[in-house]
Homo-oligomer: A and B are copies of this chain.
C-alpha cells in the first residue's frame, strides 16, 4: 500500500516539504526581483521574503516564534534558492521566462500548503483554520513579494493559484480526518496542490467574475 510505504519512510514530511518550499520560493522571488533590476541586496531580500513570509505568518498565527529565527538551516536553504536564481539569470539571460520558474512556483506552493496544514493540525485549530493556515503559508510569500515590488498581488488575479492551496489544505484535513497517517495526508495535500496548479496553468482554467454571473442572470 502507498500509505504503508509512506509511513515507513525514514523522513519527516514537515522537514522535506519545508526544505523544498524554501529553495523553490526563494528562487521564484529572486527571479522576480532580478527582472525588476533590483541590486543584489534587494534580490536577496525579495527572495528571502518570498521564502519566509508565509511560514513566519503561519508560526505567528499559531503562537510560535518563527522557525526561521531559531535555525541556521532555513536561511541557508533560501540563500541556495537565491543563488540558483542569480546563477540562472547570469548564465541563461532569460530565466524569468523559463517554464522552470513556473514549475518551481507550483512545487513551492504545494510544499508550503503542506507545511501549513501540518503545523495548523498540530496546533489544534478548526478545519477552516487548517485550510486558512495552509493557504496563507502557501501564498503569503508571493503576495508579500508583489507588494514589495509595488504590484497588486497576482495571487488575487491568477484564477487557480490560491485556490489550489485551498483544495490541497482541504485534502489534508479530509485525509487526516478519515484516519490517514500524517505522512499520507502530507503526500495527498502536496500531490493535489501541485497537480491542480499545473493543470490550471496548462488548461487555462478560469473562475467566473460577478460581472459574468450578473450578465448571465439578466439575460434570462
- A40 CA / B147 CA spacing, docked (Å): 22
Contact B34 A159 (CB under 8 A): no
Nearest B residue to A39, CB-CB: B207
Contact B162 A45 (CB under 8 A): yes
Q: How many copies does the complex hold?
A: 3
CB distance from A5 to the nearest CB of B (A): 33
Q: Does A187 contact B (CB under 8 A)?
A: no
Contacting residues, chain B, for A40 (C-beta < 8 A): 207-210, 213
CB distance from A124 to the nearest CB of B (A): 9
- A74 CA / B126 CA spacing, docked (Å): 11
Q: Does A91 contact B (CB under 8 A)?
A: yes
Q: Does A3 contact B (CB under 8 A)?
A: no
CB distance from A85 to the nearest CB of B (A): 8
CB distance from A148 to the nearest CB of B (A): 6
Which of A9-17, A55-63, A174-182, A189-197 lies on the face that meets chain B?
A55-63
Q: Interface size class for chain A?
A: 35 or more
Contacting residues, chain B, for A60 (C-beta < 8 A): 60-61
CB distance from A165 to the nearest CB of B (A): 11
Contacting residues, chain B, for A211 (C-beta < 8 A): 34, 37
Which of A19-27, A103-111, A150-158 lies on the face that meets chain B?
A150-158
Contact B93 A129 (CB under 8 A): no
Contacting residues, chain B, for A150 (C-beta < 8 A): 151-152
Q: Does A117 contact B (CB under 8 A)?
A: no
Contacting residues, chain B, for A45 (C-beta < 8 A): 156, 162
Nearest B residue to A64, CB-CB: B63
Q: Does A123 contact B (CB under 8 A)?
A: yes
Given A123-B65, A126-B72, A91 and B217 touching (CB < 8 A)? yes
Contact A86 B38 (CB under 8 A): no
Q: Does A203 contact B (CB under 8 A)?
A: no
Query: Could you name 5 residue pairs across A and B whose Cβ atoms are closer than 8 Å?
Result: A37-B211, A61-B69, A69-B120, A90-B217, A93-B218
